[in-house]
A and B are shown apart, each in its own frame.
Chain A
Amino acid sequence: MNCQQVEPLLGSYLDGPSELGKVNFAKVEEHLGACRACSTSLDDLRWVIAQLKAQPRIKAPEDLAARLHRRLALEAEPPRENWLVRLQQFINWPSLAVGAVVAAGVMFFVLRGPQPVVGIYASAVPIDQNVAVQIAFEVDEDVQGVTFDIRLQDGLRFVDSRGQPLQTQQVAWRGELRRGKTVVPITVRGIRPGRWEILAVVRKNQLARKTHIIIPVRAQRSGNISVGEG
């Protein structure tokens, strides 16, 4: 190895043979034994790292915690009655959606006794178009401490407030259900053709109710509904 080859490897050399591999490590070592310029560079590099490590740890200003406390006090507390607001922070609402409302899933939720899984099919939507979906929960009395969980299969993504798809495929939150019907609107986008499922689960203690909403996503070009593994 010559100086040009050795110089960029000096940092990895300092990390030991495991970083550089035994063969290269030995080659660099051999060169360092024979080359004064490179071994000086290595010393410099050690010196630079030592300087960095010796930089004083900066402490947060003493009033930072108090400032944060005051600032937090001004923050609206996520109201328990209005837990939908929480969802709004990371899921888009239909009014912001690019595409039209094409699917409506309705879920009747009663926290007593066994209930079959409900499956709802929407009409096919084109790929890369935002789709508003309404999931309705209906109860005959107020229910506290409910966990909501909405999951998307691989071909679907949630959409953010600018209408862009997010990586997230699952959201869960805790809230209450008021007597009557509560509608949770979400916006999703099909990113691959197929029959994809939105799974909405509501849990209260050991009880859970599931709704499957099937969104067929079709490839734009063909206009056909291609059937995926769903």
Chain B
Amino acid sequence: MVSTPEQRELICRARNGDKAAFETLIGPQLDRFYGLAYQLIRNEDDAADVVQEALIKAYRSLGSFRGDADFFTWMARILRNTVLDELKRAVRRHEEPVETLPESLDRSLEGKAEQKELREIVHGCISQLSSKLREPLVMFDIEGYSYEEISQILGINIGTVKSRLNRARESLRQKLNKQRNRLAGWVKVSDELPAS
């Protein structure tokens, strides 16, 4: 994966201080950056702050971007590190792990209450996963990152990405299974979870 010629041109201009070029570069990726930050932090305001902080960091360190690397994964790596810092800070601030049930769900969604509850339960279980398992799960299954991208962002090989992803899914299945009684109300008969 390499940057396209257009990206390279923009990167070159951004490195020389052209802020508009930098904004043109990252504009189309904002949703993906925000989505990732949100899924890992589960708080809208914090996610927006973290994305902004990460992008400023990236702008400042454009000089260290290697031309042969993929720009998106380079940025996502900076974002991921900023998210981790934020999560550590949050732990210190509240002296409690952030891996509790999320309070905030996408407010823009006007879906059925049951769907919302389902999502809450799923996310509650995701947030109980260790970050080692949660990251590849969120990136691959929710945010649609490729194995290759995840491998580069997390700095682990593709085999490890796959095995962590499978462990994460399996662990999630077991956690959801324990929530059977909460799920029972709306799970379709054909999809019904077995008694464990």
Which residues of A are at the interface with B, using a C-beta cutoff of 8 A? Answer: 7-8, 10-12, 15, 19, 37, 40-41, 43-45, 47-49, 51-53, 55-61, 64-65, 67-69, 71-73, 75, 77-80, 86-87, 89-90, 168, 171, 173-174
Instruction: Convert B60-84 into 0s and 1s, putting 1 for each residue whose CB lies closer than 8 angstroms to a CB of A.
Output: 1101100000000000000000000
Across chains A and B, which 5 residue pairs bring their CB atoms closest together, nearest first?
A11-B166, A60-B34, A52-B141, A77-B17, A40-B194
Q: Given A75-B60, A89-B60, verify A59-B166 contact (CB < 8 Å).
A: no
Asked if A10 and B22 sit within 8 Å, CB to CB, the answer is: no
B98 within 8 A of A: no
The residues of B that contact A174 with a CB separation of less than 8 Å are: 15-16
Q: Is the CB of B119 within 8 A of A55?
A: yes
Where chain B touches its partner, the secondary structure class is: helix
- Interface of chain A, main secondary structure: helix
Some 23 contacts from A to B, beta carbons below 8 A apart, are A44-B173, A44-B194, A45-B170, A51-B118, A56-B109, A58-B35, A58-B38, A60-B48, A64-B34, A64-B51, A65-B23, A68-B23, A68-B56, A71-B56, A72-B22, A75-B19, A78-B16, A89-B60, A89-B63, A89-B64, A90-B63, A174-B15, A174-B16
Does B127 count as interface, using CB distance less than 8 angstroms?
Answer: no
Interface residues on B, range: 35 or more
Pairwise interchain contact B63-A77, C-beta atoms closer than 8 A: no
State A43–B119 Cα separation when bound (angstroms).
Answer: 19
| B191 contacts chain A at the CB level, 8 A cutoff | yes
B34, A59: Cβ atoms closer than 8 Å: yes
User: Which B34-69 residues sit within 8 Å CB-CB of chain A?
Assistant: 34-35, 38-39, 44, 48, 51-52, 55-56, 59-61, 63-64
Within 8 Å of chain A (Cβ to Cβ): is B27? yes
Note all chain B residues with C-beta closer than 8 A to A43: 191
Least Cβ distance of A53 to chain B in Å? 6
**Shortest distance from the beta carbon of B150 to any chain A beta carbon, whole Å:** 14
